[in-house]
Amino acid sequence: MKKKKKLSLWKRFLNQIFSLRGLYVLIVIVLITLYPVYVSDSQRWTYIESFGIKLPLRYTIHGIDVSHHNNKIDWHRVKNSIEDKVDISFCFIKATEGEDLKDQDFGNNWREAKKTGLIRGAYHFYVPRANPVEQAQNFIESVELEEGDFVPVLDFEIQGTSKKVRSNLLENVKTFINIIENHYGVKPIIYTNGHIYREYIKGNFDKYPLWISNYESQKLEGYNNARLMMWQHSATGKVDGIQGDVDFNVFVASKSHFDDICIKSEN
């Protein structure tokens, strides 16, 4: 009887161990499965019918960026695009590209956006093979910023195809940024993607406001959160007053930092 009792106790002990192990494995599987859902839900991704995309409603300040590719824009309709208390609060407008290209619609977009009360910003598309001094001058000649506008934006998303261009790219971008910073008296926002961020921005431009383009992730991770301000999360949005697809962005920093990326009064 004693021997049978010992075997019974041992069997019960083993069953408990295996039951606990099974429960542990089950918990791990559930956590792995639900993690993407948790990440998604923490951003409160919600489909907004009038915009045709999901927006991360954890954040409340939403905006767009445009260029001449969006054709003629009815800025009054853009400003009045609203659904479920979600509206367009800001816009970034392409001003220049390379050494001498000036966006053909920049002047009109810049003026009309201001009239509607949208917070506006101007960006320069950086061409790696082009002279950084002439690129900076192209932007300066084209863009006069006023109080309340966003600080200038460097659109740095390509690195060039030749080794020679890539070998000088970091120093050339620094030259461009220094000229812009000295002229306007503010640190420009750097718009980029994950690859360029890891290759060139991280460790070199950590003090500059960051605007990340990422359409795949449900949550931005792996960036300098202290400087992360904007997230371009979609390129397929729809907005009243604009033909075709529109890039959508959201301000992801604390609202107290919003003024940090705007032009202040000189007084």
Distances (CA, A) of 236 to 120, 247, 263: 21, 6, 29
Known catalytic residue at 83: no
Q: Flag whether the pTM goes above 0.75.
A: yes
User: Which of these is catalytic: 74, 87, 99, 157?
Assistant: 157
Mean pLDDT across the stretch 124-150?
Answer: 98
How far apart CA 163 and CA 176 sit, in angstroms, is: 20
The rounded percent of the chain whose pLDDT value lies above 70 is 87
Known catalytic residue at 216: no
User: Which of these is catalytic: 65, 97, 103, 247?
Assistant: 65
Whether residue 81 has pLDDT greater than 80: yes
Mean pLDDT across the stretch 78-93?
Answer: 90
Concatenating the DSSP letter of every residue in 155-220 gives E-----SSHHHHHHHHHHHHHHHHHHHHHHSSPPEEEEEHHHIIIIITTTSTTS-EEEE-SS-SS-
pLDDT in the model for residue 30: 35
Whether residue 224 has pLDDT greater than 70: yes
Calculated CA dihedral for residues 98, 100, 103, 107, nearest 10 degrees: 130
Distances (CA, A) of 180 to 128, 140, 144, 183: 16, 7, 12, 5
Whether residue 54 has pLDDT greater than 50: yes
In our burial notation (b when 16+ CB lie closer than 10 A, e otherwise), range 248-260 reads bbbbbbeeeebee
Mean pLDDT across the stretch 251-255?
Answer: 95
